[in-house]
Structure 1
Amino acid sequence: MNRFLLRRALLLLLGMQLTAAAPVKGERNTPAIAPVASSERITAIAVQRTSQRRIDSLQALIDARPVLDTIKIMQVTRLAWEIQQRDVRAGLPVLRRALQMSHQLRCRDYEAEALLDLADCHILLGEYAAARHWLNQADAEFRRIHNIGGRIRYLGRMARIASQQGQYARALSYCFRVPASYDAGDTRRFYTSLQIQIGSTYRQLGELPTAERYLRHALKVALRHDYPDRLNLIYGELGEVCRQQGRWAQASRYYAQSMTISEKLHLAPEILGMEINLAEMDAQLGRNVGAMQRAYPVLWQAKKVLPLAVPRVLVLLARGNLNRGYADSAVLYAQKSLQASQLIHSQSGLQNASEVLAQAYAGLGQFARAYQAQQQFMVARDSLTGAEVSRRTAALQYRHQLREQQNKITLLTQQTRLQQQQQQLVRLRQQWQVALLVGVGALVALLAGVVFWLYRRRQAAREAALRTSLAADLHDDVGSLLTQISLQSTMLREGLYPPEQQRGHLDHMAETSRMAARQMSDVVWGIDARNDSFVSVLDRMRDHAHQVLPPAGLELDFFADPALLTASVPLNTRQAVYLIYKEALHNAVKHARASLVTVRLRLRGRQLELQVADDGCGGPVPAQPAGQGLRNMQARAAGVAGTVTYDTAGPGFRLVARLPLG
């Protein structure tokens, strides 16, 4: 698409350079168009004179460029276009040369454009079979290079051929193959051409409001995006619509606007077409002199530039001469129109020429020939009427089918839109669900993170407390014992004790060392992960009791609740209960003067209860315990949020410790 636009811009630039060339001696520049009076009327003569100067300049440029490249192809294509402004058929060999050069350079886009230009020439000549041949080849090339704009132009040319042959339904079918989505971007220009062709087809069908609606839409687009090569066609078609509606002033204004733009673009066929339309309108309004003044200079140009319009011009001249009383001239022009119509197979031309010929023969008194011409007129009219009815019927049927298809498309579009909305609703619902799940997941992850942080913080606090407790135990128990051993060993080394007391002090040091070892063993046992079960605690408690009580002459009554075997006891609670238990046995051995120690371990809800009782002397418990052992037990219980109570009401001494399990 972009290469086509670039090629078109280069061609226009080349044309501007040729226009700026020095004019031929004796000629002057083409004046601006002012379609006001007949003496200032624009014809294609000035365009053809300028075209001859351009042809000479282009031929010189081509001869001076020996290298075969894309620039030379564009120069040859431009030369063909300039020649067509003087003689359409004479441009065909030049276009074939451009096609051969494009094929030789393997430039598929230039080759496709050359094929399209060849088809345009044959359409102007009315050679529709040849035009279709070149169009099919151009379409194949456009397909190969994926040129959407080229394919749209192919469909527009096929529609024009069908319309000129009276196949209106087929013409509309070609146009409506292109969806409205192409009315944008690089394809807008070509889609606008289709809108013009649709308007022209509906005008020929007599559906003037529909034709005008399409043409007005195309006019709006062409004005907004500055498509002058479309504006001249739109104004010409709007002029035809207004002429068929009897709006003569508007028709004349539209024709003049079309001619002005066509003259600026150097388009001789379009200028001739507007001149012929104006001449026919003058004839319809009874201005025979004006019609003939327009028709005479157009005739010799139309034979080479617009051959399909020659029968119309000849009929205009025949009618004008007949109305002026020149029946013999009318016969001459009518016979030429009849022959030209037969050459291009134009039924409307045969009808008009036969009608004028019959009237002219009657005016000359040649009634036999007039009757023969009248019969020929009636045959052509009947044939044209039947064919026109068939064509209009086919076009109406196609329009009905098209409406049904459009209704189906509209229904399918609505259903598709509804399905898309439902799918979008489902997607939104899924997105909300995903967002909700993500939010819940994020919230759960946040809560889990907070819980984990609190857990780690609690664990860190527990570890810190455990380290503090271990440090205190080692410092208070083991440290004091080691200090005693150190002091006694120092005194023994310095000989501060008499010889008879040294053995006693050595025995005391040995006992203190054993106590320190037991204290260290208890600390290590308490933090060993292999002793996490309460079963190991019970075994340790029994072992300690058997190590301490029998040597002192005390018996043991030990009972543990079976539920404790599966209970989960925290480390701090486990250490506290064991150390309280040891301190209680130590007090019983040291102070109770008893014979039996009773130990009971029970579960009381979420608490562990330890009872240690003896049958000794007992005694009242002071409000503030003075002994180090009682204070240690209370401190250890308080460290795990537990309590220690004492009871001396019965025989002996009873200690009750309640420690939490969680």
Structure 2
Amino acid sequence: MKLIITISFLSTFNYALSQQNNIDSLLEIVSYNRSDARTFYAVKKLGELFEKENPERSIAYYRHAMEFPFLSKYANEFVQVCNSLGELYHHRGMYDSSFLLHRQALSLTQKFNLEKESALAYQGIGLNFMRLSQHDSARYYFKQVLVMALQLKDLSLQAGGYNNLGNVSLEESNNQGALEKFIKAAELYERINNTDGLSKALSNIGNIENILGHYDKALDYTQRALAISEKNNSDFNVAYCHRLIGRIYRKQKNYDKALEEYELAAKIYSQLGDQRNEGETRQSIGNIYFDQGKYKEALVESGKSIRIARKISNSSLFAYTFSSIAFAWYELKQFDKAITYFDSSAIKARVIKNRYLVMDAYEAKSGIYAEQNQYKSALEFHQLYSALKDSLTSEENRQATEELEAKYQNTKKQAEIELLRKDQELKNISLKQSRTLQTAMATAFGLLIVIGLLVSNRNKVINQAKRQMEIEKVRNQIARDLHDDIGSTLSSINLISQVALQENPSRSILYFKKIGEQSAKTMESMSDMVWSINPDNDTLQKTVVKMKEFSAEILEPKNMGYQFQVDEKLNDVSLDVARRKNLFLVFKEAINNAAKYSDGTFVNVSIFRIHRMAMACEI
């Protein structure tokens, strides 16, 4: 046990020493009294370090930081100073100053797009409106915080938004609505392990349970919150928990314990400089003394509360404390003083729009006048009391009706939203399917184009290959023809010329004649060869013209007539080189045979189609 205590002490000492060294380093930077960014950061950090332990000193450092020239490079940090100082002023009940700083922060956040700090500025403004009992304005700003927190996906801010909205509902006596929001806040704080926020939410739940009369539950929640707050050294939360426990004990009529808790809370608030909460706690202590019948002691504590209210100009604190003092004087039978304080309470209550305090004043004054036998005045204030009570009851009924109507409309709206959401989901699914189909069709179309291009390219390559093969075939055929026809003819001419040189001149004429015949034959072969490979002669019509020329050369010297009968539909038929050449060679052979061996006088040539894929030539 000693070891554990020693280690704990050393750990705390080392932390404190480290923090003091940090403070000393920052103070050294500040001591140079410069107006640069480094000094600004140091002053800001000092404000943060003293925020919990010495709020007054923290305020001084933050105010010093506000005096630095504004630079855009530390815009975010400057806004943080505005929000932090605004929060400290809020705790002291200096709502005007707090408003000013948070609005300055909000203006800068909108200019520099600082979303997180903007949400905190909205939160600070909302808290000020709530303390001034301007609940609609407070709710508006807290809802803005919640919207921004959802956009930022900041669970801590979301939890804070629910917690603050719960407090607004509590101020409006909507206990069930407040409880729901506090539970949401607690769940979020617990999820992100934010123990400081969790302690606030738990204490708020404890407060609701206390209002509902569930004192054991209220005490359990509040004591859990107190344990967490003490562990975190969160003095504000510790003070609130003590104050709430005092309230619970008062409801249980355990006044001694209630006083102990209230005194602990008041002491911490005084150390923190939180005058508003200190004043409210002093008023609560006065109420304990009132419950015990110790009216003079109650007046003493209420007097302390009044002095604080006067210092911070807090109308709400004035209204409640004046009412407490009035009831104390009433019990002491000091009716004139009681009436004076009831009037003062009613005036302040009208300022904060608290008609319940006004109603209490009317009822009490009616009782005072009745005790003094001033029945006319007693009746007058009783009528005012009854009218105000009826008005409040009617308004409460109207509010209850409006709440039910709002819940109905909200349920209806939620159903419509759910229907629209499902409809949107169906549309999204349909759109997704449509996009998938479009993508598939586009992919298929792209594949078809690619396949088409590949097939086209393949056919082109095949055709080129076929064409190349045909060219090679023609070249080979030409080579064979040159070798067979022209080569043999030239060889014959060469032999004949050799013999002619060796023979007698008288016989040379015969050899020269043979050379001429062979040369003519060679020229004819060359002409046929060139004609066969010329692409201009691909049509059957050109082939027939060649046939006619050959027929004239062979048949006319023999005094033989000839006639060509060609189907006109075949004129444009295209023949490749091989077919054209073979057809012409067959035709030449037939004409030569007819001229040499037929002893005929007329040759009839007919070219016609047999069927779609074939034609015939009759001679």
- Judged with a 3 Å threshold, the aligned counterparts in structure 2 of structure 1 residues 388 and 159 are, in CA distance, closer, same or farther, namely farther
SS at match of 2:597: helix
Aligned to 1:382, which of 347, 355, 358? 355
Aligned to 2:520, which of 514, 523, 531? 514
Query: Which amino acid letter does the alignment assign opposite residue 441 of structure 1?
Result: I
SS at match of 1:597: strand
| Cα contact 1:175–1:198 (8 A) shared by 2 | yes
Could you say which residue in structure 2 is the equivalent of 1:534?
Answer: 540
- Judged with a 3 Å threshold, the aligned counterparts in structure 2 of structure 1 residues 594 and 104 are, in CA distance, closer, same or farther, namely closer
Mapped pair 1:20 → 2:26: no
1:515 Cα offset (Å): 0.6
| Cα contact 2:155–2:189 (8 A) shared by 1 | no
1:372 Cα offset (Å): 5.4
The correspondence of residues 231-242 of structure 1 with structure 2, limited to 5 A, is 231-242=198-209
| Cα-to-partner distance string for 1:321-365 (whole Å, 9 max, x where unaligned) | 334443221222234435545666767645653554355335434
Query: Which amino acid letter does the alignment assign opposite residue 577 of structure 2?
Result: L
| Cα contact 2:240–2:265 (8 A) shared by 1 | no
| Cα-to-partner distance string for 1:273-298 (whole Å, 9 max, x where unaligned) | 22211222222221211121222344
Query: Which amino acid letter does the alignment assign opposite residue 134 of structure 1?
Result: L
| Cα contact 2:115–2:148 (8 A) shared by 1 | no
Q: Distance in 2 between matches of 1:534 and 1:587?
A: 23
Mapped pair 1:445 → 2:453: yes
| Cα-to-partner distance string for 1:253-304 (whole Å, 9 max, x where unaligned) | 4334434444454433332222211222222221211121222344354245
Q: Distance in 1 between matches of 2:308 and 2:413?
A: 42
Aligned to 2:89, which of 99, 113, 122? 122
- Judged with a 3 Å threshold, the aligned counterparts in structure 2 of structure 1 residues 490 and 242 are, in CA distance, closer, same or farther, namely farther
SS at match of 1:567: coil
1:524 Cα offset (Å): 0.7
| Cα-to-partner distance string for 1:583-627 (whole Å, 9 max, x where unaligned) | 212222333343333322223333232122xxxxxxxxxxxxxxx
1:523 Cα offset (Å): 0.7
Select between 382-391 and 94-103 the one with higher mean Cα deviation: 382-391
Question: Structure 2-normalised TM-score?
Answer: 0.79
Could you say which residue in structure 1 is the equivalent of 2:616?
Answer: 609
Could you say which residue in structure 2 is the equivalent of 1:366?
Answer: 334
Query: Which amino acid letter does the alignment assign opposite residue 611 of structure 1?
Result: E
| Cα contact 1:69–1:105 (8 A) shared by 2 | no
Q: Distance in 1 between matches of 2:181 and 2:605?
A: 111
Q: Distance in 1 between matches of 2:506 and 2:301?
A: 171
Q: Distance in 2 between matches of 1:18 and 1:58?
A: 18
Could you say which residue in structure 1 is the equivalent of 2:295?
Answer: 327
Query: Which amino acid letter does the alignment assign opposite residue 447 of structure 2?
Result: G
Aligned to 1:280, which of 227, 247, 270? 247
| Cα-to-partner distance string for 1:497-521 (whole Å, 9 max, x where unaligned) | 5655433232112111111111111
Mapped pair 1:566 → 2:568: no
- Judged with a 3 Å threshold, the aligned counterparts in structure 2 of structure 1 residues 594 and 146 are, in CA distance, closer, same or farther, namely same
| Cα contact 2:242–2:264 (8 A) shared by 1 | no
| Cα contact 1:55–1:83 (8 A) shared by 2 | no
1:18 Cα offset (Å): 9.8
The correspondence of residues 28-427 of structure 1 with structure 2, limited to 5 A, is 57=24, 60-64=27-31, 68-81=35-48, 85=52, 88=55, 91-101=58-68, 103=70, 107-178=74-145, 182-183=149-150, 187-303=154-270, 305-338=273-306, 340-341=308-309, 349=317, 352-354=320-322, 356-370=324-338, 380=349, 382-384=355-357, 393=399, 396=403, 416-427=424-435
The correspondence of residues 578-617 of structure 1 with structure 2, limited to 5 A, is 578-606=584-612, 607-612=614-619
Q: Distance in 1 between matches of 2:440 and 2:242?
A: 69
| Cα-to-partner distance string for 1:22-79 (whole Å, 9 max, x where unaligned) | 49xxxxxxxxxxxxxxxxxxxxxxxxxx9xx899858844555555554533432343
Aligned to 2:531, which of 500, 525, 534? 525
Query: Which amino acid letter does the alignment assign opposite residue 584 of structure 1?
Result: A
- Judged with a 3 Å threshold, the aligned counterparts in structure 2 of structure 1 residues 186 and 536 are, in CA distance, closer, same or farther, namely same
| Cα contact 1:558–1:600 (8 A) shared by 2 | yes
User: Would you tell me which structure has more helix in proportion to its own residues?
Assistant: 2
| Cα contact 2:239–2:264 (8 A) shared by 1 | no
> What residue ranges of structure 1 are gaps of 5+ in the alignment?
1-15, 24-49, 613-662
Query: Which amino acid letter does the alignment assign opposite residue 236 of structure 2?
Result: P
1:366 Cα offset (Å): 3.1
| Cα contact 1:88–1:124 (8 A) shared by 2 | no
1:173 Cα offset (Å): 2.3
Query: Which amino acid letter does the alignment assign opposite residue 610 of structure 1?
Result: C
SS at match of 1:226: coil
Question: Structure 1-normalised TM-score?
Answer: 0.74
- Judged with a 3 Å threshold, the aligned counterparts in structure 2 of structure 1 residues 95 and 418 are, in CA distance, closer, same or farther, namely same
SS at match of 2:213: coil
Q: Distance in 2 between matches of 1:512 and 1:17?
A: 129
| Cα contact 1:600–1:611 (8 A) shared by 2 | yes
Query: Which amino acid letter does the alignment assign opposite residue 275 of structure 2?
Result: P
Mapped pair 1:543 → 2:549: yes
Select between 196-205 and 206-215 the one with higher mean Cα deviation: 206-215
Mapped pair 1:554 → 2:524: no
Q: Distance in 1 between matches of 2:307 and 2:91?
A: 18
Compare relative contact order (CA 8 Å, sep 6+) and give the higher one, 1 or 2: 1
Could you say which residue in structure 1 is the equivalent of 2:471?
Answer: 463
Identity of aligned pairs, percent? Answer: 17
| Cα contact 1:554–1:596 (8 A) shared by 2 | yes
Mapped pair 1:503 → 2:498: no
- Judged with a 3 Å threshold, the aligned counterparts in structure 2 of structure 1 residues 213 and 457 are, in CA distance, closer, same or farther, namely farther
| Cα contact 1:553–1:595 (8 A) shared by 2 | yes
Q: Distance in 2 between matches of 1:179 and 1:377?
A: 36
| Cα contact 1:269–1:305 (8 A) shared by 2 | no
| Cα-to-partner distance string for 1:135-154 (whole Å, 9 max, x where unaligned) | 12111211222111111112
Aligned to 2:495, which of 469, 487, 503? 487
| Cα contact 2:82–2:102 (8 A) shared by 1 | yes
| Cα-to-partner distance string for 1:112-151 (whole Å, 9 max, x where unaligned) | 1111122212221223232222112111211222111111
> What residue ranges of structure 2 are gaps of 5+ in the alignment?
1-10, 360-387
SS at match of 1:107: helix
Q: Distance in 2 between matches of 1:228 and 1:490?
A: 127
Select between 413-422 and 267-276 the one with higher mean Cα deviation: 413-422
| Cα contact 1:255–1:274 (8 A) shared by 2 | yes
1:416 Cα offset (Å): 4.9
Could you say which residue in structure 2 is the equivalent of 1:430?
Answer: 438
Q: Distance in 1 between matches of 2:31 and 2:94?
A: 35
Q: Distance in 1 between matches of 2:42 and 2:218?
A: 38
Query: Which amino acid letter does the alignment assign opposite residue 618 of structure 2?
Result: Q
| Cα-to-partner distance string for 1:612-653 (whole Å, 9 max, x where unaligned) | 2xxxxxxxxxxxxxxxxxxxxxxxxxxxxxxxxxxxxxxxxx
Query: Which amino acid letter does the alignment assign opposite residue 157 of structure 1?
Result: G
Query: Which amino acid letter does the alignment assign opposite residue 576 of structure 1?
Result: N
Q: Distance in 1 between matches of 2:508 and 2:282?
A: 160
- Judged with a 3 Å threshold, the aligned counterparts in structure 2 of structure 1 residues 176 and 399 are, in CA distance, closer, same or farther, namely farther
